[in-house]
């Protein structure tokens, strides 16, 4: 359809909601996930249709259809990274390490190798390898969040503006050995949610509070319960979860620190993610569990007399327990602003 916003939505699902709903090795998955998910257990929650096991991680929780379907998400995403254009060119509609071999204008064969650690970083590199020099167009989706993006061809940065929320089109004669570098600024930003809460975002990733996890295997009282890895699991918190943030929602870069580290075997896991965010926050003692879920979200700003602490946020897809919609902490009683805690 040629609409860049659909690529934004595709990445939002593929890099956040999809990996969040299964264990790091994909042997267990949920039927229902929660953005503020602080306990995954066999419990009768206030849901209209789904049963007590729909929130646990398991082989076949609630309905068996997900067991047959969940593994199709990323292969289908990979198959949709590149699309043909009406003028017989190619469009990069989403970004991930990939390789595409196809025909372009005039039936010319071309191979493109995409090298990147996106969505964890903002640079995407392309090696263009046509069988013979070929004239055709390449289009690149510029995400709506990527103000200030730039593109370089063979080391020369192009002067054209890359407007967020559009496709940038580049037509020329491509030859073997041509290289493209697409760079997206990955500034920290916030988005507004229920009761004036905020979510913290960077690039296509949403970030959540890192909560300690205890994975407890369920036997369900069966005489021959399933054995790992084909088992059902409750996930219990081992650290507090009821925090609000000390954050300037309009200038979050001033109060959030990025921590980078080597990528682990499972990128979408608490121990394997290559990026974390560190931000200040305070606990909200009155915010408690209600019916085995995080209670109603307090209206921001929230008054808290608890001491400020450094909190670690990890990508939503890596956090199987998480707080994602955060209350903001109010100014202190002396009137000075505590909604901005700088790391500088």
Model pLDDT for residues 31-43, shown as the tens digit of each residue: 999 999 999 999 9
Shared-domain flag, residues 211 and 227: yes
Shared-domain flag, residues 211 and 308: yes
Terminal alpha carbon distance of the chain: 45
> Is 253 domain-assigned?
yes
pLDDT computed for residue 28 by the predictor:
94
Pick from 56-70, 240-254, 318-332: least confident: 56-70
Shared-domain flag, residues 141 and 112: yes
pLDDT computed for residue 202 by the predictor:
97
pLDDT computed for residue 49 by the predictor:
86
The Cα–Cα gap between 21 and 14 comes to: 11
> Is 329 domain-assigned?
no
| Closest by Cα among 315, 328, 206 to 259 | 315
For the segment 79-106, the average pLDDT, to the nearest whole number, is 96
The Cα–Cα gap between 234 and 320 comes to: 11
Shared-domain flag, residues 201 and 301: yes
Q: Which of 145, 166, 183 is the last residue of a domain?
A: 183
Shared-domain flag, residues 303 and 286: yes
Pick from 34-48, 54-68, 104-118, 330-344: least confident: 330-344
Q: Categorize the per-residue pLDDT at 64 as very low, low, confident or very high, splitting at 50, 70 and 90.
A: confident
For the segment 235-250, the average pLDDT, to the nearest whole number, is 96
Q: How many structural domains are present in the chain?
A: 2
pLDDT above 70 as % of the chain? 95
DSSP-derived letter for residue 166 is E
Pick from 20-24, 291-295, 333-337: least confident: 333-337
Q: Which of 183, 216, 238 is the last residue of a domain?
A: 183
| Site of tokens 């408690």 | 288
Shared-domain flag, residues 54 and 191: yes
For the segment 188-198, the average pLDDT, to the nearest whole number, is 96
Are 248 and 339 contacting, i.e. CB atoms less than 8 angstroms apart? Answer: yes
Q: Categorize the per-residue pLDDT at 335 as very low, low, confident or very high, splitting at 50, 70 and 90.
A: very low
Which residue segment(s) compose the domain that 214 sits in?
27-58+187-318
> Is 113 domain-assigned?
yes
pTM for the whole structure: 0.93
Shared-domain flag, residues 191 and 179: no
Shared-domain flag, residues 153 and 223: no
> Is 245 domain-assigned?
yes
pLDDT computed for residue 93 by the predictor:
97
pLDDT computed for residue 228 by the predictor:
79
Q: Which of 134, 159, 183 is the last residue of a domain?
A: 183
> Is 327 domain-assigned?
no
Tokens of 27: 């042997």
| Closest by Cα among 289, 316, 317 to 43 | 289
Shared-domain flag, residues 220 and 150: no
Cβ neighbour number for residue 259 with a 10 Å cutoff: 12
> Is 157 domain-assigned?
yes
**Mean confidence (pLDDT) of the chain:** 92
Tokens of 294: 């995080």
Q: Is the pLDDT of residue 182 over 80?
A: yes
Query: What's the sign of the alpha-carbon dihedral 240, 246, 252, 257?
Result: negative
The Cα–Cα gap between 12 and 6 comes to: 10
Shared-domain flag, residues 138 and 201: no
């Amino acid at each position: 359809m040629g609409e860049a916003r659909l690529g934004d939505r595709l990445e939002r699902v593929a890099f956040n909601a999809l990996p969040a709903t299964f264990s790091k090795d994909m042997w267990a998955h949920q039927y229902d996930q929660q953005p503020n998910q602080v306990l995954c257990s066999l419990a009768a929650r206030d849901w209209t249709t789904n049963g007590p096991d729909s929130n646990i991680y398991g082989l076949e929780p609630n309905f068996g259809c997900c067991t047959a379907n969940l593994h199709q998400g990323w292969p289908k995403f990979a198959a949709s990274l590149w699309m043909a254009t009406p003028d017989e060119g190619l469009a990069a509609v989403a970004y991930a390490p990939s390789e595409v071999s196809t025909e372009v204008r005039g039936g010319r064969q071309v191979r493109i190798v995409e090298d990147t650690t996106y969505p964890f970083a903002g640079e995407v590199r392309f090696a263009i390898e046509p069988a013979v020099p070929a004239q055709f167009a390449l289009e690149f989706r510029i995400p709506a969040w990527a103000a200030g993006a730039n593109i370089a061809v063979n080391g020369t940065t192009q002067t054209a503006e890359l407007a967020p929320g559009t496709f940038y089109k580049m037509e020329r004669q491509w030859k073997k050995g041509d290289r493209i570098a697409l760079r997206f600024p990955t500034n920290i930003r916030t988005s507004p949610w229920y009761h004036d809460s905020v979510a913290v975002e960077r690039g296509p990733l949403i970030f959540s509070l890192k909560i300690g996890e205890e994975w407890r295997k369920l036997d369900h009282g069966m005489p021959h319960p399933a054995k790992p890895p084909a088992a059902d699991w409750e996930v219990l918190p081992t650290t507090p979860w009821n925090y609000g943030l000390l954050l300037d929602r309009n200038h979050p870069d001033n109060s959030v620190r990025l921590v980078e580290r080597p990528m682990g075997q499972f990128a979408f896991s608490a121990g394997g993610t290559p990026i974390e965010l560190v931000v200040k926050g305070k606990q909200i003692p009155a915010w408690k569990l209600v019916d085995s879920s995080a209670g109603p979200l307090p209206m921001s700003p929230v008054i808290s007399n608890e001491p400020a602490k450094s909190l670690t946020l990890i990508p939503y897809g890596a956090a199987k327990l998480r707080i994602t919609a955060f209350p903001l902490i109010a100014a202190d009683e002396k009137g000075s602003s505590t909604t901005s805690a700088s790391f500088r």
